[in-house]
Structure 1
Amino acid sequence: MKKLITRIIAVSAMIFIAQQFKAQKVIVNREVETTNDGKMLLGHQTKDQFIKAPYADWYVKEHDEYVLDQKAIAELRKQKINSYNIIVFLGTWCEDSHRDFPRLMKILEEVKFPDSKLTMIAVNRKKESPTGDEVRYNVQKVPTIIVEKYGKEIGRMIEMPSTGYVERDLVEILKKNDSSVIKEIFKK
């Protein structure tokens, strides 16, 4: 009888684990058609989606015309931006996202930021994504650029850079005292 119960528990556990893995599958590069906004990206995206029509109309122009603040770029390298994770929430329907997301991407290309440390999540007009990540990160406006270290948020840029330049805002975020983040991690 004990063996039967043990087997039932083992099989049940395996089924439960399999369901969890299936539930965590994230669809990447989802595009939807809306009545008011036409085509819209929704959920996790890759960079190549933004150089396709209709997104390329605003993305390529802003990306190519933006002049980087080289002093801020040098500071981002000095602050080792490539050791952080960046999560970006944007709306392909949003004018602020049309302006600042391509600028961010140009900055990240300039500092050779690894794609593996960048997460791009497109939301609808209600600021919702299929995975609900916007709830976890408490996103109210787009674009929202979140910088994390050791799995903890150290700062964010909401809607538009306070300095007027995305790269300058990123420098201000990175200059935050890392030891406070480390202390927070180890106090748990």
Structure 2
Amino acid sequence: MKQVISIILIALMFSSCKTLNLNAEFKPEGKKPYLIGKINKIGFQSETYTTWFNTNYKNYKLDLKTIEAIKSHLKEYDIKLFMGTWCGDSKREVPKFYKILDATNYPIKQLTAVAVSREPNLYKESPQHEEAGLNIVRVPTFIFFKDGKEVNRIIERPIETLEKDILKIIRDNDYKPNYFGIKKKSKKSKNL
């Protein structure tokens, strides 16, 4: 009996490790590697990503007045971020977004960050399909949730600035993102 329980526990441990693999890197033959699946800020510190991430993070000048306006309310929202480390828009906007989260003391456990594929048959999908049903057409996409319901999203780039767009979303939801209303074409996908 103990042996059966031990085998079950070991199997569960290995299966949970597979799904919790943060900052996984996909290396397509003959192309630059990129992050895929769930990620966190630490993933951007590997040699492949650190130059663009750290440069854009450091060089971004925060709008401190707007930061103060969003600081106390942003924590009421869960955020899902979908991006591609292969995507120029993501390389530009995601470091700025992390700087805003840091400046507002946003509880990072409320952020789910997912890097999507650039491969033709898996384009803008992740291995665990966190994007399923969320209509991720362009990246980066920042989706704001309150009480489990989507409130709004920033798609690809802000209309004004990230801070001002966030303020419009959390203050009175008077915000229409870029590419509003575009729907992703449905397709069957394969795992990476």
Give the TM-score normalised by structure 1.
0.78
Contact 2:71 2:105 in 1 (8 A): no
Among 19, 24, 42, the residue aligned to 1:30: 24
| Equivalence for 1:81 | 74
| Equivalence for 1:182 | none
Contact 1:121 1:129 in 2 (8 A): yes
Aligned residues: 157
| CA displacement at 1:27 relative to structure 2 | 2.7
Among 122, 127, 132, the residue aligned to 1:130: 127
CA distance in 2, matches of 1:65, 1:36: 32
Cα-Cα RMSD? 2.0
CA distance in 2, matches of 1:105, 1:37: 27
Which aligned pairs between 1:25-64 and structure 2 lie closer than 5 A?
A: 25-35=19-29, 37-64=31-58
Among 100, 105, 112, the residue aligned to 1:112: 105
Among 127, 148, 153, the residue aligned to 1:151: 148
For the residue of structure 2 that corresponds to 1:76, the secondary structure is: helix
For the residue of structure 1 that corresponds to 2:157, the secondary structure is: coil
Contact 2:36 2:115 in 1 (8 A): yes
**Which amino acid is 2:95 matched to?**
P
Could you list the runs of 5+ residues in structure 1 that have no partner in the other structure?
1-14, 178-188
| CA displacement at 1:82 relative to structure 2 | 1.1
| CA displacement at 1:131 relative to structure 2 | 1.0
| Equivalence for 1:169 | 165
CA distance in 2, matches of 1:36, 1:172: 43
Could you list the runs of 5+ residues in structure 2 that have no partner in the other structure?
1-7, 174-192
Which protein has the bigger helix share?
1
| CA displacement at 1:106 relative to structure 2 | 0.2
Moved over 6 A (4+): none
Percent identity reads: 36
Which aligned pairs between 1:7-26 and structure 2 lie closer than 5 A?
A: 25-26=19-20
Q: Which has the larger radius of gyration?
A: 1
